[in-house]
Structures are given as C-alpha cells and as structure tokens.
Structure 1
Amino acid sequence: MKTLFSAISCFFTLLFFGQQTSKNLIPFVKPIIGTQRMGHVYPGATAPFGMVQLSPDTDTIPYAVNGKYNPDVYRYCAGYQYDDKTIVGFSHTHFSGTGHSDLGDFLIMPTIGNLQLNPGTATAPSKGFRSTFSHENELAEAGYYKVKLDDHNITAELTASTRVGMHQYTFPKTDQAHIILDLMAGIYNYDEKNVWTYIRVVNDTLVTGYKQTNGWARTRTIYFAMSFSKPFKNYGQKNFDEKQVYRGFWRKFDQEDNFPEIAGKKIRMFFDFDTEANEKIKVKFALSPVSQKNALQNLTEEIPHWDFEKVKKQTQNSWNQELNKIQVDASPDDKTNFYTAMYHAFITPTVYQDRNGEYKGLDQDVHQANGFTNYTTFSLWDTYRTLHPLFNILQPKRNADMVASMLAHYDQSSLHMLPIWSHHANDNWCMSGYHSVSVIADAILKGTYTGDAEAALNACVITARKSNYEGIGYYIDKGYIPAEKSGISVSNTLEYAYDDWTIAQLAKKLNKTDIYNEFILRSENWRNNFNPVSGFMEPKLANGTFKKDFDAYSTHGQGFIEGNSWNYSFFVPHNPDALVTIMGGKKQFGKKLDTLFTMHLSDAFFAETEDITRDGIIGGYVHGNEPAHHVVYLYNWADQPWKTQERVRQILKMQYKPTPDGLGGNDDCGQMSAWYIFSSMGFYPVAPGSLEYAIGSPLITNAIIHLENGKTFEVATQNQSETNPYVKKIILNGKTLERYYITHDEIMNGGKITFIMSSKK
C-alpha cells in the first residue's frame, strides 16, 4: 500500500513539475514564415511528424505545357504561395520546404450555390469552385489553420492528429451547400491519366477509397476513410474522361441514383447538404498506406468523436511538448524564428504506418513494424547535414526509429540499397551521395541507435560498393568520377568521400579493420578533383587531365549539383585540416573564405540560375542550398574563429526573418531550420559522424535543452547583444574551455556552457 501511495505521489509530483516548467510556446510558432517566395513550406495543420499534412492549396499547376516542362510548378512545391489571392481547396499530403514535389492528395473544398466541378482559375475563380481569400482573415498556428472563403461566405478550419485530418466548415443558411472531393488534384499535377481512384460510399456519412499515382514516386497508393458529422442528402461525381455528370458509375445500373461504387482516372465527387446560418459541418479524413480497413481503424481510434476543439487542443499540446525540449530566452523576433524553426524541423520525416503497425514497404508488400515506428520522407541529401544530428540530441528515440526504417528499406530493396530520397514506399533517387550511411553511422556512434550495428554497417558497405549506381564503379576504380560519365561528377566524388569517411568511423568503432582501411582510403578521394593550379575542385576527364574551360562561378556543366565550385571546393567536412593545407595554409585559406563571403556575383550568374538561389546568397555563399552549410564554421580551422562568429550572426539575421518571406531558400524538410537552431545556440555539427560540434556565436540569451535521458544542458550568455557577436570566453561546467568545439557527450551528460560575448574580435 505504501508503494502504491508513493507511486501515486511521485506521479502527481512529476505532473505538477511538468505543469510548472512547461511553457505555452504555440504563440511563437508562425507557420506562415517561408510561404512566400522560395521557402516552400505550407501553412496548414499537422501533428509532429504527422502522416497527414492538411493545408490549403492556392493553385494546381500543370507539370508540362504542350509537352514541355512548366517552370511555374517550382513555385508550388508545397501547394501554397503567399502572394496568391485564391484557394482551390484543402489537401491532405504535402512536403515541407522541398525543391521538388508530389502529393497534394484528396483535395476538399466547401462551396455554396450552383454546383461547379472545375477549379476555375486564379484570374476567374467564380468560374469554378475556388474562392478568393484575404490574409486578414487567415490564421496559421502549430496544428491549426483558419481562413474565410470570401466567395462562398464559408469559414474553414483545419486541425490534424497523426493520421487523421479534421475539417470544420461554418456555412451560411442555404439549401445548396456542397463539399467537393477532388481526386484529380495533385501538386505538380502530373498527367491525370497516371492516376486511378476508387471510391466506396458506405453510407450517408462514410466514404472510403484509394488513389494510385505515377508521379515523382513511380507507384504510390494511398487509402482513405472520410466521415461527415452530418448525413449528406445527395452525392454524385463527374468522371472527366466521360465528360458527363453521373450519380453512379457502372452502366448496367441506374446512373441517376446514388450508386455506392465509383472508379476511374479523372473523378471529382460532391456531397450536398442543407445548412442553417452558422452551421458547422465537420469532416474527418484518415489516411493509410495499406488499406481502406486500416484507414477506417485509424479514423475511429485516433479521433473517435466530433469535438474539433478537443483535437486542436490535443495536437497543440503535442506541439508544446516537442517545442519545450528547448526553452529559450531571446528577443521577440529571434524567439519567433527559433520556435518556428523547431516547428519546421519536427514536421519531417513523417510517420508511415497505421495504428496497427502495418505499412507498405519498398517491395510494395505489407509489413509489420516490430519494435519501431516506420517513417518516410527522407530528403537525405539535405537532412543528413544538420536535421538528423539535431534529432540525435532532441529526438533520439525517433531518430533510432528512422534508422530502423532505413534499414527496413534496405531489406526490402531488390537492389540492396539504403534510401537516397524516399517517400511513400518509393525511392526517387534524387540528388547525389548515399547519405543514409551518414545518418546511420552518426546515430550509432552517438549511441542513439542501439540495434544490430554490424547489420547496419553491412548495409552501408553494400550500398557504397554498388558499382552500377551513379558512377560508384568509376569512383572505386579511379578515385574520382570522370566528367564524361556524369554531369555531377565532382559533387558525387566529394559527397561519396565524406560518406565513406562515416563508414570508416563506424567500422573503427566495431573493430572491422579491413572495412576501416578500405573506406578511410576512399574518404581521401576528394583530393583527386582538387586542381592545385587553380585552387578549386574541378571536373577531371577519364585520361586524368582536368576539363578545359573551367568556370568556378558557373553552376552548369562544371560537374556540380545545386552549387558551383566556389561552394563545393570547401566540401571536405571530414578533413578540414587537410583542406586547409592543400589550399595553401591557414592564412591563404582564410582569405579564400573571405572572398567567398564578399564577392559580387554578376547578373549573368543569376540569369543562369533562373533566380532560384538569389534569396539565399551572401556574396558567393549560397545559404539557400545545402553544400556550403558548414563552410562558415571553417574559419575555426584557419585560427580565425571571430570570422565564423560574425558571419554566423550575419547569416542568422539575413536569412531568417519572422515574415512570410523569412526563409532564404527552400527549408528542405527542416534542414534550413535545423541550421538555425544549432547556430543560434552557438555550436554546429560540421561533420556528422564526428562527436564534435564547432563553436560559433549564439544568438539567444539563454537556452535549456531538456534531454530524453532526463538531464538538461544549458546554454547561457553574458553581455549578449546585436553589437556583441564575438565570443570573448567560454566556460563549460565551471571551467574555461580552451578549444572551439564541444563534444556530444558533454551535451548529453548535461551541464552548462556560458558564452561571454564582446564587441571586440
């Protein structure tokens, strides 16, 4: 009895303590940040790492016009652009901050008046079901979105649990209220003939079905269950292959009555209601990667009621729990930037399994996740750099599950490859490198992933020896990829070399000497693309000579992806000491970094890049793309740490703002945001796979990191101000730190680091 009483007392003590220490951080999250220009984030509702991303789409743009790529689609990677004046509907799946897209599944739009089953256009919204809206009547919060649809006099509200989106539409009085389900809509709007949909009307409040697409993901199937809070009085659909409205589909039945099964390539459905003034009709929309049955189970178990405010509160409580993992003091704008960055960092990767643990694997079979939660949306070329290292501190359990998900992907791959850029049981093979190995090695070396480390190493090694993939065979044989064989030969060589170093570190930990020797040797292949005459990384021909007509400023035809030689020439994060030496020593290296940050790029450069990266550029440093994200910290290796400090502050202030255009480039599934979180606290993982974090210049006044192991690590500053960007002294756990890095163990063991700031270098 005493034991029971003690347990109860302990529970309420912890509960009280949690209530006392937890802060309401929702007001500091502004999902609208980054929705203008090239941030490519969405403002709608999602739960932390949620499978549902329920958000407004302001347009659907054809991927091709007259058979040619349409460059306008790039603006709509997240479905929403702040400058647009109309909303076409609310769909349930979105990427956050990417430079490519897919998804935009199951678009819902409430309307009144005469039924219209085409979306209209931005210039003529009244000719379709879209509506104008005003940002004055729009509210975006973590887990909640609200907007007034002016043309229909309907207020739309959205929230979401992990697997279920919940809509609440407040209608005027009318006998012509409609809720449209558009099964043709999709971000990038690939050829609709590559879509097949099936819908089953179970009763007058429940609809289930699925959608198959062939887009960026070659074969993607997503199932749904849709439930209404009020019975619809009528329903129907238009099959746009048939050019006619039908109440059913199968020709042997009465097509004028509501028929319960519908299938086709180009279908939009509608559901009719009578409504009183200010009547709320609610919709619950659950997703599943496996089946309609599982979607229905997700719906009934995750949101078994119709209390919209309860779902909103639960989701925002979940967000508060995640946001409180770091409690910061900073200026109002910096605090908004910080917590919005945390919000964006905790959106992806996304859960990809049902409540019963089932998910669809890369082999398109149904699998059971045993002992882990399965995740998808791995934009690894971006996120290995900073996001996954951040998870090793703030989300170790989730990151361990992400590693387990990558290894499951490997087991299901007929090619025996770890994921490159994977989502929804597909791999898009996008970008260069095989950066799963960095995430896996970093997680094992830092003690995050405690599964079978030897099996993980084996998967990394087999992936890195895949001679028929993206020039790896040439890389192994020659130590570089010939320019004749790949348009991104230099990028691939440099990124493979880094990845190989992480494999070597893992092999060393596991005492696999033969593997260590193989991959530590491969990790030095970056030297083969360095031209000592020019001092740059350059494309090399198969005969061993450097390619002629080299241009260090050009982003085209020089062997690089999303960058030029000025940015990639510093991409040796795993061996910066050797890079400093090969570039002529610390003084010369520092001067070259200075030139990178102060040069003036010509209009011809921006014309060549089609203005995509203009937002994220300082001098020649491209913060809007990832290859140079570590570069500002390299001044530490040139014995000029004050330049790292002043440039970090410059980037934090110039590239991140609490405004709709406040991201200086694609957020890339949280990578840009993770860079902000680390850098504003004063340290950064230059080379994941290393246990060291380079020191920069903290922007915050104070931060307390609440670790999953129950300990806290505090970052404190003295004399903090905008005019004091320089670090005069560092005190770690009461002792002066005589180095410009801290270790992973020093963070995870808890403690306190104090930065004493100054206006003097």
Structure 2
Amino acid sequence: MSLRKFILILPVLFASLFNSQKLENLVKFVNPIIGTEKMGHTFPGATVPFGAVQLSPETDTLSYEISGKYNPDVYKYCAGYRYEDKTIVGFSHTHFSGTGHSDLGDFLIMPTIGKVKLNPGTAQNPGSGFRSRFSHQNEKAEAGYYRVKLDDYNILAELTATTRVGFHQYTFPKSDDAHIILDLMSGIYNYDDKNVWTYVRIENDHTITGYRQTNGWARTRTVYFAMEFSKPFKSYGQKNFDTKQAYSGFWRKWNQDDNFPEIAGKKIRMHFDFDTQENEKVQIKFAISPVSQANALENLQKETPDWNFENVKNQAQNDWNKELNKIVVNTISEDDKVNFYTAMYHTFINPTTYMDSNGEYKGLDQNVHQAKGFTNYTTFSLWDTYRALHPFFNIIQPKRNDDMVKSMLAHYDQFSLKILPVWSHYANENWCMSGYHSVSLIADAIIKNTFTGNPEEALNACIATSNKKNYEGIGEYVDKGYISAEKNGTSVSNTLEYAYDDWAIAQIAKKLGKTEIYNEYIKRSENWKNVFDKSIGFMRPRLSDGSFKKEFDLLSTHGQGFIEGNSWNYSFFVPHNPNGLIDAMGGKKKFGDNLDQLFAMHLPDEFFADTEDITREGIIGGYVHGNEPAHHVAYLYNFAGQPWKTQAQIRKILTMQYKAKPDGLGGNDDCGQMSAWYIFSSLGFYPVSPGSDEYQIGSPSVKNATLNLENGKSFEIEAKNQSDKNVYIEKIELNGKAIKDFTIKHQDIMNGGKLTFYMTNKPKK
C-alpha cells in the first residue's frame, strides 16, 4: 500500500475504531419531558435522530378560532402536549420541536374500550369523548420510547419509532368491545378549513392506507400513510363529520358507515374493533411517506419487517446512544448532565428526514424527485437555527449538515421563485420571520469546509436570493441601504438581518476569489449603519425621506420596526462587525456600560404583554434569552475588553434558563437553537458570527468533555478547578499554548487536541 493511500484511509480507520469502542449509556441522561411545561414547546414522544416520524401524545386539540376570533390557547399547543394538562386525546405521528408556531399533528390514534365514541370530548368532561385521564406518575419518556397508562380505559400505551414508522403497543384489559380510533380530523393549528381532503382505503382485515392533504402553516401539504395491525380487526366503521358532505353513500346506494372499503372527505374519524384478552398487546405499525401510499407500505415493510416492539425500541435507543456519544462530558452535578444530553437530544430532532426509503421525495414544485447521493431534509427554522444549531452540526454532524445544505439548494432549484428556504417544511415555504438566513448556513458550511457540493452554484443561489426585490423590502434595502418604516413593520430588524446575511455572502465570495462580488456584499453588510441613530446611540426606524422616526421608544416592542424584540435587543445585532458597532456606540467603555444596563434593567409590563407567552423566568434584565437575536450578546463583552463579564453572564444564563425539570427551558427551543446555545456555552465557546471560522470563548460549565469527531479525531476540553463558584477564567491553553484573545478557530477543533481552562472565583481584569 502506498503512503498516500494509507494517509487517505486513516480517518476511516479512526472512525471505525470509535464505532467499535463500547459506548457509554448516555440515553439514561435524556429527559424528553424537559421543555413540555410553560413555553418550551417540546414534545415527550418517541422519535429517532432526525426522523421523519415524531410519535407523541396530544393533550388537547384546539380550534384555531372560537366564535370567529383567534384562540390564544392555540399558541400553547405548538407541540400538541402540555405538561400541565390532565388528559390525553391520542397519539399522532408528526410534530415540531420547540417552535413558536403550530402545524402537523397528523393521524391521531387512540385506543379505547366500551361504547364507540368518535369525538374527543373536553378536558373538563373527558367521559364525553374518547380522551382519557392520565397521571405523570404512570408516564415515562425516554429517547426513542414513551409510555403512559390511560386511566379511563386501563390501557398501557407504549410508543417507539424508526425513521419513517411509528410503532404503537397497547396492552388492553379483557374486553369484547375494544377499539382503535383513527382521527383524520385532528391536527395542531386546527381550524375549520385546514383539512383539504383525506382518504382511507381498507386493503384487508389488518392493513389500511390513505393520505391527508392540509392547508395549514404549509399550504399544500400531503402526507401518505400505511397502517398495519398485529391482529385482524373484527369490524370497523367511520363517520364523516362534514355536514356539507354528509350522506349515506354514493348517490345513497351504499352505506359507508360500517365496513365500507374506502372513504374520503374533509372530516373523517374511524374505529377498528377487537376482542381482547387480559393484558393482550395490540400493536400498530404506522408508516408515512411524502410521495405515495405504495411508498408508505414499502417504508413500513423495510423498517419494521416483524412485530418485535422491544427490538425496534432497542434499535431506536441504540441510534440515540451512538449520536449522544459524539460528545462525552463530566459535569459538576447530574442535573447538569441531564440538561446537556437532553439538549443534545433536542438538537438532533430537527431538521427531519424528508424522503422515502427508496430516496423519493416531493419537491417545492410538487413533483416527485430522487435524492441522489444525499439525504433530503425538511423543517428548516432558519431564523432560529442558523445562529448555533447548524454551526454545531458543522462540528458534530458535518455529513448531515452537508446534506442539509444540498437539501436547501434542491429547494432553490425546484422553486419557481428561485429563492432559498426561509422557513420551509414538507415541500412548502411559509416565509416565517425575516432575513434570508439560508445564506448564513451555506456560508458557514463552505468556510468550514463541510460543504462538498459546487460552491459557485451555492454562491449564485445566495446572490439570487439576496436580490429578490419584491420580497419584504429587499428592493428598497438594495437601492437605499435600509428599509423605510412606512413600508415595513419590521424595517429595522430586517435591515440588520439582511446586512449580516450580505456579510455571509461576502465570505463565500472571498473564499472563491470573487473580488468584485466580495466588494459589493461587504459594502452592503455595512447597511446596519443606516438605521443606527448616533444621536441616541441605538438602532431606530428611519423614514423614506432619510429622517429618523420621531415617535420612538427604546423599550417598546410595538410598532417600532423590530420583530420579537425592541431597540435594546436589536441594537447589539451586528454580529459580523462588533468592533464597528463599538466605535459607533462611543467606544469600549460606553459599549460595556450599555451591555451592563441591558442585563440590569427592568422591563415594563407592556413588554410582557406584547410578547404573549414569554414569562419573566425567561428574561434577565432586558436580555431575552428566549428570543434568538440576543443569543450572541453576552459574548460581546469580549470585544469590549471585559471578558470576565462574558464569563459571569454565560454561567448565569446557563443556570437560570436551563433546568432539569418540565419547565426547564426559558423559551421556545425553536428546533434546537436554545439547546445548541446550551451545548456550545457549556463547552466554553460560541459562534458569534456564523460564516466566520472563529468562536468566542465564554465560561465552560463542564468539568471535561471529549468531542468524538467524524474525521476520526477527538477534541478534549478540561476545566481545572471547576465549580459553581469558579465561573471566571484565569488562563486558557490550546495544546499547551496560551490563548490570550479569547478566540479559537474552527480548524483548531477539527484538528483534534486539547483546550484547557483554569477556573477561578475571581474575575481577571
């Protein structure tokens, strides 16, 4: 063997050695219940890493409107489950994790005994429908597994999953009147016209197939399914609750209510009936597909060829354990370890696999495509996740992140508008939030050498997206350098976010030697200055005539030009040029004083009213950790020459905003962004400006950690003299050499080695 060939296969050998080593049992530290109370909006059910299926309980199914008015309680049920509730309506197969908006909740299944009930009833009167009371004492949630006793029916429900199949196991009492309810009406973000159409076909006495079309947050979403029972059902029935379509059969010649082989409509519920013995287990395998019923059946047969629930559960947990072992940590307390590995768990839920086992998926053009050489993903909450989640993947999940970039470029190619994703899921774009942050994710992957596709094609897609002049003020932004307050309600935050994204495009151009493009976009990246009012030292909405808006309140979140924040929150949002921002604010001392005031101020009650479910537990002074634009702010003390304040604030945020209990997240987890912040900050560094190859040093909370990298190398972190009180850094060493500028490079990590922190209880000024 030549030396060159030997060198090329070394990473593979190292990776194989890691895979062959005995993995630590880290699944036991994952608690999916964390974030299910109050505002975390996580779900406790069963899924596998980046799986297409998220099989989880629903504790209510609320209508979007009540008497024609918006129902504010809908926001609470973004994940379908709330820890505060006392009843379960059923178990559905698709969920967002930690979002601030609702959709999905497809194909709800509920086991019952007794008289068939085809309505869910109410939480106040569970017996009026098929829902059941439950107790948290009889509930268990683990990575890849969920269990709960349904008290009203004395049924034990157990759930596990593969990538595309939800596996149910229900242990029944003895009964000649046992049922499985299939609810095709139910969904998260439910309103009267969400269901466009549903269809069910009875294939035989134990298999059914069908699909559901919805017009929700995604306006043209179709999910196909195949459902198989472990034993034949003795009978079945269905009901169409749509009064506009209700009829007894085709031209009244068929009775579709009982044992009819197919049914279609907008509002359908079905029941499948069984005789059961005491403690008999009735199992269900439920596969989904974005393409067809045939593909759903193929997914079911490939991923769950037999009826061994324990094997599927064990495989799911083995898959989780393999992913969790990519970082092995020791912490001050066990709660810290639970927080850490639950955060890792939450970061590995989204984005989700969006293709069948044969590689087919539905594209933005609503045609069927074949993923060649990559896994296609969906669920891109990019306004949130570009900040830390995808940079985290560039270290720990580089192959998956490469595929995610390729998925976004496929989105661009298939979309008639030729624009990269903003917030996309299930072959749809919902345009939620501001910025064109796909370009940040792409830039970060290119700069850090994760992306294996064609970088010039990626750059062209970024440029085309940044010049869509008819999209949310981009035209005015390009022409004038800012978006005017009269024309856009989030004019300031949009201007700031576009400026950062333009800087990210400039970094790609620079790497590719495209000097002209670099110069154009680095100039555009300075547009933040156009909404910075030097007279007050803060960001401020600007009018078309160039003057700043007179009616202006630094603390107000209403009508001031910002999205999910105020001027105090957004005036620090220049992550790509903090030194320029420091100069604009009057120098390092003034900048540091402003940061001090942000963390110490008292917000008015109006702030909390405007931000709906954001509670005071999720806020430190005026710093809102639950809203992502602030996530880099504590690290800005480094640029002001006050790194000890970064260290103190990071440890304070870690302690206050993350706890090992149901309400342990101080904000929506937002598809893993909150959790990614926790992981980075616990390890001691953070990507203030994705698209840069630098990380800012904070204050690690772990005692030590080993990052097992995909290239076969390992990066070790050790915090000597670590304790809850020793939050300050006396000195830092990388491979024995002192670090004095509080930064490390991406390649320092990927090369392997050791980062050593020497901790103390006294700030080193």
TM-score higher than 0.5 here? yes
Amino-acid identity (%)? 73
Report SS of the residue matched to 1:670: helix
Structure 2 equivalent of residue 40 of structure 1: 41
2: CA distance between counterparts of 1:339 and 1:246?
53
2: CA distance between counterparts of 1:640 and 1:193?
52
The 5 Å alignment of 1:595-614 reads: 595-614=597-616
2: CA distance between counterparts of 1:567 and 1:226?
48
Structure 2 equivalent of residue 367 of structure 1: 369
- C-alpha contact 1:195 1:266 (8 A) present in aligned 2: no
- 718, 721, 741: which one pairs with 2:720? 718
Deviation digits for residues 201-237 of structure 1, max 9, x if unmatched?
0000100000000011011000000000000000110
2: CA distance between counterparts of 1:637 and 1:465?
32
2: CA distance between counterparts of 1:178 and 1:742?
59
* AA at the equivalent of 1:405: S
Q: 1:168/1:726 Cα in 2 relative to 1: closer, same or farther (>3 Å)?
A: same
Deviation digits for residues 253-295 of structure 1, max 9, x if unmatched?
3546511111011000000000000000000000000000000
2: CA distance between counterparts of 1:579 and 1:395?
33
- 665, 668, 680: which one pairs with 1:666? 668
Report SS of the residue matched to 1:505: helix
Structure 2 equivalent of residue 286 of structure 1: 287
1: CA distance between counterparts of 2:516 and 2:606?
49
Segments of 5+ residues of structure 2 without an aligned counterpart are 1-10
Structure 2 equivalent of residue 3 of structure 1: none
Return the offset for 1:252: 2.7
- 410, 426, 436: which one pairs with 1:408? 410
Asked if 1:102 corresponds to 2:103, the answer is yes
Structure 1 equivalent of residue 92 of structure 2: 91
Structure 2 equivalent of residue 472 of structure 1: 474
Q: 1:621/1:126 Cα in 2 relative to 1: closer, same or farther (>3 Å)?
A: same
2: CA distance between counterparts of 1:91 and 1:248?
29
- 571, 574, 581: which one pairs with 1:572? 574
Structure 1 equivalent of residue 555 of structure 2: 553
- C-alpha contact 2:12 2:711 (8 A) present in aligned 1: no
2: CA distance between counterparts of 1:251 and 1:320?
56
Return the offset for 1:95: 0.2
Return the offset for 1:18: 4.4
Report SS of the residue matched to 2:55: strand
1: CA distance between counterparts of 2:397 and 2:295?
27
Asked if 1:645 corresponds to 2:647, the answer is yes
- C-alpha contact 2:39 2:613 (8 A) present in aligned 1: no
Structure 2 equivalent of residue 585 of structure 1: 587
Structure 1 equivalent of residue 445 of structure 2: 443
Structure 2 equivalent of residue 313 of structure 1: 314
- C-alpha contact 1:248 1:262 (8 A) present in aligned 2: no
Report SS of the residue matched to 1:43: coil
1: CA distance between counterparts of 2:102 and 2:249?
33
- 351, 354, 364: which one pairs with 2:353? 351
2: CA distance between counterparts of 1:724 and 1:167?
47
Return the offset for 1:599: 0.6
- C-alpha contact 2:245 2:265 (8 A) present in aligned 1: no
Deviation digits for residues 429-468 of structure 1, max 9, x if unmatched?
0000000000001101101001100000000000001111
Report SS of the residue matched to 1:433: coil
| TM-score of the superposed pair, with normalisation by structure 1 | 0.97
Report SS of the residue matched to 2:465: helix
Structure 2 equivalent of residue 457 of structure 1: 459
Report SS of the residue matched to 1:180: strand
* AA at the equivalent of 1:755: F
Structure 2 equivalent of residue 504 of structure 1: 506
2: CA distance between counterparts of 1:608 and 1:369?
43
Structure 1 equivalent of residue 159 of structure 2: 158
2: CA distance between counterparts of 1:355 and 1:602?
52
Report SS of the residue matched to 2:213: strand
Structure 2 equivalent of residue 760 of structure 1: 762
Q: 1:572/1:666 Cα in 2 relative to 1: closer, same or farther (>3 Å)?
A: same
- 427, 432, 439: which one pairs with 2:429? 427
Report SS of the residue matched to 1:480: coil
The 5 Å alignment of 1:64-463 reads: 64-192=65-193, 194-242=195-243, 251-255=252-256, 257-330=258-331, 331-463=333-465
Report SS of the residue matched to 2:664: coil
Q: 1:21/1:639 Cα in 2 relative to 1: closer, same or farther (>3 Å)?
A: farther
The 5 Å alignment of 1:46-57 reads: 46-57=47-58
Structure 2 equivalent of residue 22 of structure 1: 23
Return the offset for 1:621: 0.2
- C-alpha contact 2:727 2:760 (8 A) present in aligned 1: yes
| TM-score of the superposed pair, with normalisation by structure 2 | 0.97
Q: 1:666/1:255 Cα in 2 relative to 1: closer, same or farther (>3 Å)?
A: closer
2: CA distance between counterparts of 1:742 and 1:170?
54
2: CA distance between counterparts of 1:194 and 1:53?
20
Return the offset for 1:739: 1.7
Structure 2 equivalent of residue 5 of structure 1: none
1: CA distance between counterparts of 2:140 and 2:193?
32
- C-alpha contact 2:239 2:257 (8 A) present in aligned 1: no
Structure 2 equivalent of residue 525 of structure 1: 527
1: CA distance between counterparts of 2:256 and 2:503?
64
Deviation digits for residues 402-452 of structure 1, max 9, x if unmatched?
000000000011111000000000000000000000000110110100110
- C-alpha contact 2:339 2:658 (8 A) present in aligned 1: yes
1: CA distance between counterparts of 2:15 and 2:656?
41
- 692, 698, 701: which one pairs with 1:699? 701
Report SS of the residue matched to 2:754: strand
- C-alpha contact 2:248 2:254 (8 A) present in aligned 1: no
Report SS of the residue matched to 2:723: coil
* AA at the equivalent of 1:346: F
- C-alpha contact 2:194 2:214 (8 A) present in aligned 1: no
Q: 1:146/1:696 Cα in 2 relative to 1: closer, same or farther (>3 Å)?
A: same
* AA at the equivalent of 1:485: K
Q: 1:362/1:612 Cα in 2 relative to 1: closer, same or farther (>3 Å)?
A: same
2: CA distance between counterparts of 1:17 and 1:515?
42
* AA at the equivalent of 1:456: A
Structure 2 equivalent of residue 7 of structure 1: none
- C-alpha contact 1:195 1:265 (8 A) present in aligned 2: yes
- C-alpha contact 1:248 1:258 (8 A) present in aligned 2: no
Structure 1 equivalent of residue 494 of structure 2: 492
2: CA distance between counterparts of 1:372 and 1:403?
10
Deviation digits for residues 529-567 of structure 1, max 9, x if unmatched?
000111110000000000012111011100000111101
1: CA distance between counterparts of 2:17 and 2:387?
38
- C-alpha contact 2:33 2:43 (8 A) present in aligned 1: yes
- C-alpha contact 1:237 1:246 (8 A) present in aligned 2: no
Q: 1:337/1:556 Cα in 2 relative to 1: closer, same or farther (>3 Å)?
A: same
1: CA distance between counterparts of 2:188 and 2:135?
22
- C-alpha contact 2:15 2:710 (8 A) present in aligned 1: no
Deviation digits for residues 577-604 of structure 1, max 9, x if unmatched?
0001110100110000000000111223
- C-alpha contact 1:249 1:263 (8 A) present in aligned 2: no
